Amino acid sequence: MPQIIFLPHDELCPEGKVIEADVGESICDAALREGIEIEHACEKSCACTTCHVIVREGYDSLEESDELEDDMLDKAWGLEPESRLSCQALVGGDDLVVEIPRYTINQVSERH
């Protein structure tokens, strides 16, 4: 069973967390199941970017993103080449190291 290693995030998992995930389970579902309250404003329907994560290790083990996810990611705060929407990124056979960005697009817009 692959592991997802979440790097520390000030609010969601200050000390980081290592969880087990099922192959084919989304990063978002695995996080929520283990008490990491990652934001998912569109209820995981690939209609927002609030569940944006950066896959620091294991990125190539994920299925490729589709055009809809890529279009949504273009709107994400802090986009990087290894960015994915956690509701769409399905765990493959390899362990993952995941960073939850400090802000979501919702949080950035609330501050301005």
pLDDT at 102: 87
pLDDT at 104: 72
Q: Which domain holds residue 81?
A: 3-111
- Tell me the whole-structure pTM to 2 decimals: 0.91
Cβ–Cβ < 8 Å for 30, 19:
yes
Average pLDDT over the chain, rounded to whole? 92
Dmax (CA) for the chain in angstroms is: 42
Cβ–Cβ < 8 Å for 6, 17:
yes
pLDDT in tens, 86-98: 999 999 999 999 9
Of how many residues is the chain composed? 112
Q: Of 50, 46, 47, 48, nearest to 89 (Cα)?
A: 46
pLDDT bucket at 105, cuts 50 / 70 / 90: low
Strands (E), the chain: 3-6, 17-20, 52-57, 83-85, 96-99
Number of domains in the chain: 1
Report the CATH number that the domain containing residue 19 is assigned in CATH.
Answer: 3.10.20.30
